[in-house]
Amino acid sequence: MRLPSLLAGAIVLAATSATFVATPAFADPESKIDPEITATGEHRAIVRVQQPAQVGSAQASAEQVKQDRKNVSTQPPTEVAGKLDFFVYRGTRAELEKIAEQSDVVSIRKDKLNEPTLVQSIPLIGADKAHRQGFTGRGTAVAILDTGIDKDHPAFGGRIVAQACFSAADPVDGSKPLCPNGSQFQIGDGAADAETDACMTGAPQPQYGLCYHGTHVAGIAAGQATSGLAANGVAPQAKIIPVQVFSRFENSPYCAGRPVCVLAYDSSVLTGMAYADLLADQYNLASVNLSLGGGQYDTACDTGDGADFKAEVDKLLAKGVATVVASGNNGYDAAVSWPACVSNTVAVGATDKQDAVAAFSNRGPLLDVFAPGVAITAAIVDDSYAALNGTSMATPHVAGAFALLHQKHRRAGVDQLLGALTRTGKPIAYTSAGTEVTTPRINVYAALRSRL
């Protein structure tokens, strides 16, 4: 018997870090300064030295460059400042050139402002350009088979058109249903509510509960900009069909030592797929998103435990609906999880903002495309926003991309739309089982401009 499918998204609130490239201590002062620091105007700059112990003296010298005002920013508390090898200075290029003459100074670069990561990931795949051309997913729908949704989150703006819950229970496994009505099945308004008692009780992060994952995934695929996050998802005008397919597990060996967790049975996922098929024509469904998975497969799993899933995917393909699946977060270099191993799905791996393959992402010949999946900020339960990592976050970028393509090419098949994404994506080369493999990172704007 297969183990229950595991959440593919890493449940990690994002923390940012910066890596600086060192230059020789005795380099020419001009070579230490970022070319973006121009001769005109003032700049807020990060002045980096060789060791944290050198910050104090370098900062004191910098304060002498322009003595009529304080140009060096206030340092953080001592326990933090002692770990930093830089300080921030605001001034002109000429002033920074004088600071660069210090032998302890390694580099000087702009202290740039960073927008929320979803704002960055959407332009990375060209979705912002697509929106400006009128491709927003209007007239299409995306189904999110996950942990339900925060049904009144402002990011969804009344676009949730149908809901269901298929949440199996098994006392031997210690699993209980998450459906709001307390049963294992529920269809109708509120059926995929991610803020029920069953979702919220006993969660390690009480404000978000156990079922926040689906809201985040839906926000990436089809969220809209709000006062809380000035960033659209990939298809901000698409309709949303959330389906709860997870169950609550208590004191179960499947929770890996945690007292409570949420996991999805294959049967619940398959039931959710069938529900999506039922609504495909009514809502012009473009894609089904499955940010979940389990196991390790280095060859297609179309027979055996993948056969029933393949059959459901085939039904959706016949209606022009793509089934988009996370490859998994085990870091396998030549394997993916189930059900990404099913050959007729669209298997998605994760890259970061620099288009490097995320260390956690499964990859290899079974992968179809990459999409951004590192520190992605999107909607979360309690009308909030958070940044998460995972192939779970990469997958809805692709599900949303299918909505944009489906809006333009209503009668095109999934293979044609996937072909456009793979032909026009940015090639990402990496080593898989000792062999170089290339997989495209999607660029939906380029795909929209290409001929099918």
Q: Which residues are catalytic?
A: 146, 213, 392
What residues contact residue 380 under an 8 Å CB cut-off, 6+ apart? 150, 208, 212, 215, 216, 219, 386
**At how many degrees (to 10) do helices 266-279 and 307-318 cross?**
10
| Residue appearing with tokens 């999607």 | 442
* Beta carbons of 319 and 277 less than 8 angstroms apart: yes
Please tell me the distance from the alpha carbon of residue 314 to that of residue 353, in angstroms, as a whole number.
Answer: 33
Token output for 344: 């007729």
- Tell me the three state secondary structure of residue 326: strand
* Beta carbons of 241 and 163 less than 8 angstroms apart: yes
Question: In what order do the strands lie in the sheet containing 86-92?
Answer: 86-92, 42-49, 105-110
Q: How many CB atoms lie within 10 A of CB 240?
A: 29
Q: Are strands 239-244 and 260-263 parallel, antiparallel or unpaired?
A: unpaired
* Beta carbons of 281 and 319 less than 8 angstroms apart: yes
What residues contact residue 416 under an 8 Å CB cut-off, 6+ apart? 409, 452
Token output for 450: 């290409």
Q: Are strands 426-432 and 435-441 parallel, antiparallel or unpaired?
A: antiparallel
* Beta carbons of 285 and 143 less than 8 angstroms apart: yes
* Beta carbons of 415 and 185 less than 8 angstroms apart: no
* Beta carbons of 327 and 367 less than 8 angstroms apart: yes
Provide the β-strand partners of residue 349.
370
Q: Are strands 239-244 and 141-146 parallel, antiparallel or unpaired?
A: parallel
* Beta carbons of 153 and 208 less than 8 angstroms apart: no
For residues 413, 415, 421, 423, the Cα torsion angle rounded to the nearest 10 degrees is: -120
| Backbone torsions φ then ψ of 120, nearest 5 degrees | -80, -40
